[in-house]
Structure 1
Amino acid sequence: MMLQSRGKRTICKLGYHLLTVALLVVVIFIFTEAAGAFRGDCSFFHNTFERYGVGMTVALYFTRYLTFVTLPLSLFNFLGIVLYNTWPRTPTLKGTFLHGPFICFRVVTKGLYPNLVKKNLERNINICNSIGLSNFIFEIVTDKAIDIPKNMLVRETVVPFNYRTSKKTLYKARALQYCLEDNVNTLDDGDWIVHLDEETVLTKASVIGILNFIEKGTASFGQGIISYANEEIFCWVTTIFDFARVGADYGILRFCLKYFRKPVFSWKGSYVVCNAGAERNVSYDFGIEGSIAEDCFFGLTAWKLGYSFDFIEGEMWEKSPFSLTDYIKQRKRWIQGITRTFLSRSIPSSQKCGILFMILGWVTMPLTAPNAVLVPMYPLPMPRILCFLCGFMGGVMMFLFIIGALKSFNYQRTGLLKFLVICLSPVLLLPFFVLTETCAVVYAFLTFRTIEFHTVRKEEDRIIHVKCSSFKENNLVDV
């Protein structure tokens, strides 16, 4: 009976996946139709130069063709959503090694939100206990002591103010490197580390997924999906914007980790599962260039050293930024950090191809974003295949928001009407999303010479902006 029940659930989940793929095809069809791919006159208009003028025509074509720099991102997101079940069964424990390899859940914090850290620490320990996990510890790595009550399952590691790495690494990477020092590290090479942010909440499915990943034993590093709308929502706009991140987790992240076994287009900084020995070999001592997007720099360095990656079933929960200001500053840091990673000579060009397309997408966004208005206002003669590709890219991008909404909410929890409004809201907010992302891009490159690690607001009753240091050219100035 149990096997029959599982079989029925598997068939049901497969049916959901097929419906999801069908919805993706419909969305792509709508966008390709809007782009003119199915109209008989889409490939030519008479007297284009006379109609718009030479300068205007050249500018329109230039911005139109620039959009194709992000085609690989759309293609791999499409493959990830289509080829792998978007509604997988909740993972079940495949082994019996709850008392097996030691797991350290490592949380890095500046110590600005002690109540949040303590609350989530208690919740996460309870999750681990609820599935019978016993061979684990939570390590809170903080710049400022937060006086966590003594517990056999908890270790508080305070990074000394005067600690300096050999390459003068800063911020979160500095704290992570401190944990790897011989006089601090207590883990054996066969142990495992799960990196969490201070707001990250575990789920039973994610812990089981981690245990299955470790038992599988085919990769040294892994990552899974993070969603942002499971509990109280403080800013609906940023939460809706982050639907795209959830969609990209199911798309490009999952495809690259499952198929290529590499973080081709980088990966996230939390829900990172690492073999302790492999992490120590890679290290976090990357210097200034690897201090802003330490997750990207670490992933590409591990790839360079030949380590394998894999995707982990089961999702964790986090929260989106509490304001648009934090959202823009968060994206600005990512853009600057990944760009500095790309410019680094420490990482070979073969590991940079994926982030190159990401950077090109950011750099060209201020020029390509106006196409949302220019395309219908100023139609151009375009080959049918290019019309189709434009529609394909737009459809996939829109669907990332839709699948993110479908995976973040349940109509039984919200009510059908509210659920439909939430799923359709990205369509209405897409121009605002593009504008916000464009502001982050412009801000990132206007302030590129200044290195800053912005800590977003994590609790509703506090607004804290931490500017630890600025780095202009070759001069480090403590602020």
Structure 2
Amino acid sequence: MFELSSGQKHALHCCLLLGTILFFELQSGGIKLYYTDDDAGQFDPFVSYGYAFAWFLYLLRLLTLLSLPQFLCNFFGLVLFNAFPEEPVSRRDDSKETLVTPFICIRTVTRGDFPDLIRRNVTRNIATCIDAGLQNFLFEVVTDKPFDIPKDSRIRLIVVPPNYKTKSGTLFKARALQYCLEADVNILGDNDWVVHLDEETLLTCRSINGIMNFVSDGRHQFGQGLITYANEEVVNWWTTLADTFRVAEDMGKLRCQFYLFHKPLFSWKGSFVVTKFQAERDVSFDNGLDGSVAEDCYFAMVAFSKGYSFNFIEGEMWEKSPFTLADFLQQRKRWVQGIYLVVHSRHIPLPVKFLLSLSLYAWLTMPLTIFNLVFASVYPLPPSYWCNFWSTFIAAASFYMYIFGVFKSFTVRQIGLKRYAFLIAGALFTIPFNVIIEITAVIWGIFSKKHKFYIVQKQINRPEVLPV
């Protein structure tokens, strides 16, 4: 079968993205090829609908533009940088079979509810590191509940004592991460590096090569890369296809903010995080209750305020989407609440969190802005072409990002053309479902207790085979 080159794939993707936006703009009137007599006809909505309702309609239209900065960032990230780059190749010395790099600690934090999963993934990740030629590394498993792990000199188990308290009263995952920074626990030096993984995260040789290049370069203290969710066994196709949007955000917004600005303008995620230890210790995870629910977001904002530099890491890691719709909803609710606490924290300067705040309030106002779908036709407003153009741009970019997420998660060679087309259609069909989930998460998150940390099911129940 004919295989497109990396550059050809990127060019085709850019044409599809621009074509999607153009189609949406022409359909909505955001771009007009010609004008009719109807375009000149104006009416006064304040007379037709009354002042209060007219202002309400205008407010709904303007609220849709809160998400414009992040969608512009997604657009430029997907267009300016190759969306289908060649696999990263480690900058190793050809005369050596292994990679000589700074010491790397690969750290997984768990409450201890899924010991089989941890044992299986740590063993597999070590094998991947060895296959990639990495030798100067250690795996740390940090847990609240003790459990047995394979006997291996490359694995260190850290059990967080039940009575351990941070100075600011940090809880949950942030508490465990802060415990690792304590002088009597830590074994890392200032120039060592830490790779943070979630319980279910699987390394790939591509991600290890990307990490090696990042730490060897040494110009940036923090980095993050792409995570995909449709690898190997897919537990829930509905949530996995819904998460294709997150894959597109990694390749769009995440790459744009790190490649162009080297700052977490819209924050980052809590996994596939690479930090220089000296910088991590300086930023710390001891950020009180407000920094405990979305500890990754709070950490990024503090690092941003301290002037640290970020970059994107090539390669990808693998994770699983939530196994049930209930867990999917709980996950989104925690994100809403955690980011809300970060944005409203008095300890983070407004200039640092400004774009994150716009992104959050675009999310929080979704229950209102969704009414534009009805009101735009039932209660039309006089044409405002700039508003129409940009709101249509947001809708078109959002629509395409689900398609692109499938492009990055599957290949035609892997699943065949018919199934490939079916998955693209399936991802688009999840859009209404995603909207309902997001709106429910927002309403639930606003009116419920915010300092909670729900852990989704991550372990597939199957017989475990431990290595000899």
Task: Confirm or deny a common fold (TM above 0.5).
Answer: yes
For residues 57 and 319 of structure 1, the distance between their equivalents in structure 2, rounded to whole angstroms, comes to 45
Aligned to 1:297: 298
Match of 1:53 among 46, 49, 57: 49
Aligned to 1:369: 370
Task: For residue 376 of structure 1, report the CA deviation from its aligned partner.
Answer: 4.1
Give the 3 Å change call, closer, same or farther, for CA 163–287 of structure 1 in structure 2.
Answer: same
Q: Secondary structure at the match of 2:142?
A: strand
Aligned to 1:340: 341
Aligned to 1:126: 127
Task: For residue 36 of structure 1, report the CA deviation from its aligned partner.
Answer: 1.5
For residues 461 and 129 of structure 2, the distance between their equivalents in structure 1, rounded to whole angstroms, comes to 29
Task: For residue 34 of structure 1, report the CA deviation from its aligned partner.
Answer: 2.6
Mapped pair 1:455 → 2:455: yes
- Range 57-66 or range 109-118, more displaced: 57-66
Give the 3 Å change call, closer, same or farther, for CA 183–105 of structure 1 in structure 2.
Answer: same
Task: For residue 459 of structure 1, report the CA deviation from its aligned partner.
Answer: 2.1
For residues 444 and 410 of structure 1, the distance between their equivalents in structure 2, rounded to whole angstroms, comes to 37
Is the 2:337–2:450 contact (alpha carbons within 8 Å) kept by the matching residues of 1?
Answer: no
Aligned to 1:472: none
Structure 1 runs (4+) deviating above 6 angstroms are none
Q: Secondary structure at the match of 1:352?
A: helix
Task: For residue 357 of structure 1, report the CA deviation from its aligned partner.
Answer: 1.0
Query: Any residues of structure 2 matched to 1:274-353 within 5 Å, and which?
Result: 274-353=275-354
**Unpaired segments ≥5 residues, structure 2:** 463-468
Tell me the amino acid that sits aligned with residue 277 of structure 1: Q
Tell me the amino acid that sits aligned with residue 392 of structure 2: G
Percent of aligned positions that are identical: 44
Q: Secondary structure at the match of 1:140?
A: strand
Q: Could you list the per-position Cα deviations for residues 152-184 of structure 1 after superposition, in whole angstroms to 9, with x for gaps in the alignment? A: 110110101110111110000000000000000
- Range 92-101 or range 347-356, more displaced: 92-101
Tell me the amino acid that sits aligned with residue 21 of structure 2: I
Is the 1:44–1:380 contact (alpha carbons within 8 Å) kept by the matching residues of 2?
Answer: no
Is the 2:338–2:450 contact (alpha carbons within 8 Å) kept by the matching residues of 1?
Answer: no
Aligned to 1:37: 30
Aligned to 1:22: 15
For residues 377 and 200 of structure 2, the distance between their equivalents in structure 1, rounded to whole angstroms, comes to 43
For residues 328 and 192 of structure 2, the distance between their equivalents in structure 1, rounded to whole angstroms, comes to 35
For residues 300 and 452 of structure 1, the distance between their equivalents in structure 2, rounded to whole angstroms, comes to 20
Task: For residue 347 of structure 1, report the CA deviation from its aligned partner.
Answer: 1.4
Q: Could you list the per-position Cα deviations for residues 334-358 of structure 1 after superposition, in whole angstroms to 9, with x for gaps in the alignment? A: 1111111111122111211121111
Aligned to 1:3: none
For residues 157 and 43 of structure 1, the distance between their equivalents in structure 2, rounded to whole angstroms, comes to 68
Task: For residue 421 of structure 1, report the CA deviation from its aligned partner.
Answer: 1.4
Is the 2:245–2:405 contact (alpha carbons within 8 Å) kept by the matching residues of 1?
Answer: yes
Mapped pair 1:231 → 2:232: yes
**Unpaired segments ≥5 residues, structure 1:** 1-8, 463-479
Matched length? 453
Aligned to 2:116: 115
Tell me the amino acid that sits aligned with residue 36 of structure 1: G
Query: Any residues of structure 2 matched to 1:375-414 within 5 Å, and which?
Result: 375-414=376-415
Aligned to 1:143: 144
Tell me the amino acid that sits aligned with residue 286 of structure 1: N
Is the 2:46–2:54 contact (alpha carbons within 8 Å) kept by the matching residues of 1?
Answer: no
Aligned to 2:69: 72
For residues 423 and 50 of structure 1, the distance between their equivalents in structure 2, rounded to whole angstroms, comes to 43
Task: For residue 371 of structure 1, report the CA deviation from its aligned partner.
Answer: 2.1
Task: For residue 62 of structure 1, report the CA deviation from its aligned partner.
Answer: 2.3
For residues 130 and 451 of structure 1, the distance between their equivalents in structure 2, rounded to whole angstroms, comes to 41
For residues 41 and 422 of structure 2, the distance between their equivalents in structure 1, rounded to whole angstroms, comes to 39
For residues 461 and 243 of structure 1, the distance between their equivalents in structure 2, rounded to whole angstroms, comes to 25
RMSD value over aligned CA atoms?
A: 1.9
Mapped pair 1:94 → 2:91: yes
Give the 3 Å change call, closer, same or farther, for CA 25–129 of structure 1 in structure 2.
Answer: same
Tell me the amino acid that sits aligned with residue 108 of structure 1: V
Q: Secondary structure at the match of 1:70?
A: helix
Q: Secondary structure at the match of 2:365?
A: helix
Tell me the amino acid that sits aligned with residue 387 of structure 2: L
Is the 2:128–2:205 contact (alpha carbons within 8 Å) kept by the matching residues of 1?
Answer: yes
Q: Could you list the per-position Cα deviations for residues 355-381 of structure 1 after superposition, in whole angstroms to 9, with x for gaps in the alignment? A: 111111112111011223433444432
For residues 138 and 460 of structure 1, the distance between their equivalents in structure 2, rounded to whole angstroms, comes to 22
Task: For residue 59 of structure 1, report the CA deviation from its aligned partner.
Answer: 3.2
Q: Secondary structure at the match of 1:273?
A: strand
Q: Could you list the per-position Cα deviations for residues 185-243 of structure 1 after superposition, in whole angstroms to 9, with x for gaps in the alignment? A: 00111111000001000000000000000111110110000010112111112111111
Aligned to 1:214: 215
For residues 168 and 232 of structure 2, the distance between their equivalents in structure 1, rounded to whole angstroms, comes to 40
Is the 1:139–1:154 contact (alpha carbons within 8 Å) kept by the matching residues of 2?
Answer: yes
Task: For residue 109 of structure 1, report the CA deviation from its aligned partner.
Answer: 0.5
Task: For residue 38 of structure 1, report the CA deviation from its aligned partner.
Answer: 3.2
Is the 2:6–2:84 contact (alpha carbons within 8 Å) kept by the matching residues of 1?
Answer: yes
Task: For residue 149 of structure 1, report the CA deviation from its aligned partner.
Answer: 2.1
Give the 3 Å change call, closer, same or farther, for CA 111–24 of structure 1 in structure 2.
Answer: same
Aligned to 2:465: none
Tell me the amino acid that sits aligned with residue 384 of structure 1: Y
Is the 1:34–1:391 contact (alpha carbons within 8 Å) kept by the matching residues of 2?
Answer: no
